[in-house]
Amino acid sequence: MSTLTLREAPPERLDFLSLSPLSLSRLSQGEAERLEVGTSRRGMRLGDCFSVSLDGSDTLTIEGGHERLDRVGASLSEGTIRVVGDVGQRLGAGMAAGTLTVTGHAGPYAASGATGGTITIEGDAGDFAGGAVYAAKAGLDGATLIIRGTAGDHCGDRMRRGLILAGRTGAHAGARMIAGTLAALEVGDLPGYGMRRGTLVVGRHGALSPTFVETGSHDLVFLRLLARQLNSLSEAHAALLAKPLRRYSGDLATLAKGEIWVAG
Amino acid sequence: MPAWVKGAATDIDAAIAAAADLLGAARVPIIAGLNAEVSAIQAAFALAGRVGASLDTDGAAGTYAELGALSRVGAMTSTPAEVVGRADAVLVVGANPWKSDLVGRLVGSRPTRGRAAGAERSLLALGAAQDRATVSVSAEGGCLPALALLRAHLRGHLSDDSPVADLTQRLASARYVAVLYDPAEIGEMGVETVQGLAVDLNDKTRGFALAVPGPGVNQDRAVVPVSAWTTGQAPRVGLGRRVPEHDPWRFDAARQIAAGEADAALWIASVPAPRPSWLGRVPSVALVGEADPDAAEVVIAVGVPGRDVGGVLWNEARGALAYRPPQPGASAPADLPTAASVLGRLANRLAARSETAC
């Protein structure tokens, strides 16, 4: 297992786009320490604030995270990255496959545009978790994002494919969703605003847009299949689907093929 | 030429030297405000390249609400002159557009051109009760649900006898509809819904959306094209890595200061603007049209474009960049430098130091 150990808080934001178990496995210790990760005009190299220990394996551990570490795991296409601590923005953004775990909190835009793999945040996530960055076509795009704590506003904004599980989310969860599934124990105001297709499963919710209409209670095979899938990731989320469910269809301001399932 | 360093009056050369020391020593400098004429905005981008700074603007919240929606759904938009000349129904979303000059021109006048020429003009308020409106529909839950409801009615997905249904009928039966909104007030999702509304209106009649400035007037509409032709990006770019990186979250100046990332700031407001609250929290340089010696560590008074000096500014009424000559008999001293010349001298001074040259 390769390990990067944070020695001191970085004086500027660092960009970890080029760091993955695969990229490090091809480098010598010295080459890895000289990797340019800084973002200011002075720049920083990996060895300036991390102790580097490499063994060429497909597992990388970052001991001691920091909210200034951006794009951690963004280039992950195989293997595992585990961060003990916090990370900055765009955790696993655009990631294709593999496993990415953060024990602390993540900044905004976690898993944005991620097409595969599993991203787990054991603490809280910032705004736009699984959401789209500026001018991107879509947010989460096929990966699985699990947020054990609380996600900020706009969780799953414009997500196109994949699955998001969150403890609680702020306002506008699943807004402008293109497709995919988002399950949360509690969401804030206006969930699913402007959603075209897709499925939201929620426990409690804030104000619902008047452009969602209740379409009754249903017992669908799909829900039992979804519950089985969620159960392997989070029993609390799967338990939502065991309760009586009311279905709201919307957003009628757009295509209106989305749905919000509210657990009674 | 008034200039101050740490509150003490000095000459402009000493102030530029102090500003160069301050910016030259910084790891992550920021250039903010950009409330200025086009030549100064261009000079600010050149200086940012020299010192590896990031840039941010006064009206970034509204600018990015508008650009974010534009990048996703496009825009069907018009100009103030077209709206005044052609619109027989004007939907005003939220409270801020009512404070604009454009609404003042629309009230009590009739369209003079096109299919609706000579017809009565109705002003329809959504989200804010208004005496000047023909019809007002309030929005207790905010503008977003109200806009969604209006669009759902227009698409035929909802039907009832509510005030929103009446509003929908009025819009659909008009010959030329204009929807006025302040992007900073309704946000990106609101702008996107407004643009969707314009698209749906064009299935039935003619309809266009037009952003009008809110209470905080700024030169962002001038910064956006300058940034695009200089860097190929929207305004929040950073040049720390010597290529323009666009990141609206990372290069939010207020966030950078709050997070302790930025260690020096240059604030440019040759067009007078309220000072940001964060300005005194890091070593700062202020280039301002209305000078306050205590605004920053280094303060340099520059000419106000269109008053003391000539300059190209965004003209809201025309919806275009236009040259504004200096006003004869302006009260300010005639020897005030332009912001662009001060920024140019600052960049030259920094270029002379080998450690900051690109």
| pLDDT score for B358 | 45
3-class SS at B65? helix
| pLDDT score for A160 | 97
| pLDDT score for B331 | 59
- Percent over 70 (pLDDT), chain A: 100
* Set of chain B residues whose Cβ sits within 8 Å of the Cβ of A43: 241
Q: Please name the residue that has the structure tokens 């979303």.
A: B93
Phi-psi group of B183: left, alpha or beta (phi > 0 → left; psi -120 to 50 → alpha; rest → beta): alpha
Residue of B nearest to A256 (CA): B157
Q: What is the DSSP string of B194-231?
A: HHHHHHHHTTTSEEEEEE---SS--SHHHHHHHHHHHH
| pLDDT score for B233 | 94
**What gap in Å lies between CA A138 and CA A242, rounded to an integer?**
31
**What gap in Å lies between CA B281 and CA B69, rounded to an integer?**
33
Q: Which of A12, A39, A68, A190 to mutate to test the interface with B (most CBs of B within 10 A)?
A: A39
pLDDT tens by residue, B52-68? 999 999 999 999 999 99
Arithmetic mean of pLDDT, B154-163: 94
CA distances from A54 to A199, B61, B148 (A): 42, 44, 54
What's the DSSP call for residue B334?
A: T
| pLDDT score for A246 | 95
Tokens for B257, please give them: 């200061």
Tokens for B90, please give them: 């004007």
Subunit contact B144:A108, Cβ cutoff 8 A: no
**Strand-strand pairing, A69-70 and A118-121:** unpaired
**What gap in Å lies between CA B41 and CA B267, rounded to an integer?**
12
User: Which sign, positive or negative, has the C-alpha torsion A30, A36, A40, A43?
Assistant: positive
**Strand-strand pairing, A245-250 and A258-263:** antiparallel
| pLDDT score for B342 | 97
Subunit contact B145:A175, Cβ cutoff 8 A: no
Using pLDDT thresholds of 50, 70 and 90, give the confidence band for residue B288. Answer: very high
Longest dimension (CA), chain A: 63
CA B20 to chain centre: 28
Residue of B nearest to A69 (CA): B250
- pTM value is 0.94
Q: A104-118, B37-51, B125-139, B197-211 — which is least confidently predicted?
A: B125-139
Arithmetic mean of pLDDT, B257-268: 96
pLDDT tens by residue, A239-251? 999 999 999 998 9
| pLDDT score for B357 | 45
Cβ distance A169 to A125 under 8 Å? Answer: no
pLDDT tens by residue, B305-357? 999 999 999 998 888 999 999 988 765 565 799 999 999 999 999 998 755 44
Query: Which of B68, B311, B302, B318 is CA-nearest to residue B190?
Result: B68
Nearest CB to B250; choose among A11, A89, A252? A89
Residues 70-129 of B with CB under 8 A from A: 71-72
Name the phi and psi angles at B132, rounded to 5.
-80, -10
What does the mean pLDDT of chain B come to? 93
* Set of chain A residues whose Cβ sits within 8 Å of the Cβ of B262: none
Question: Using CA atoms in the order A187, A193, A199, A201, what is the torsion angle rounded to 10 degrees?
Answer: 20
**ipTM for the assembly:** 0.95
Subunit contact B249:A11, Cβ cutoff 8 A: no
What's the DSSP call for residue B78?
A: -
Arithmetic mean of pLDDT, A100-108: 98
Longest dimension (CA), chain B: 73
| pLDDT score for B54 | 97
Query: Which of A96, A80, A90 is CA-nearest to residue A112?
Result: A90
pLDDT tens by residue, B221-232? 999 999 999 999
Arithmetic mean of pLDDT, B234-238: 96
CA B168 to chain A, closest CA, distance in angstroms equals: 13
Higher pLDDT pick, B22 / B355: B22
Cβ distance B134 to B123 under 8 Å? Answer: yes
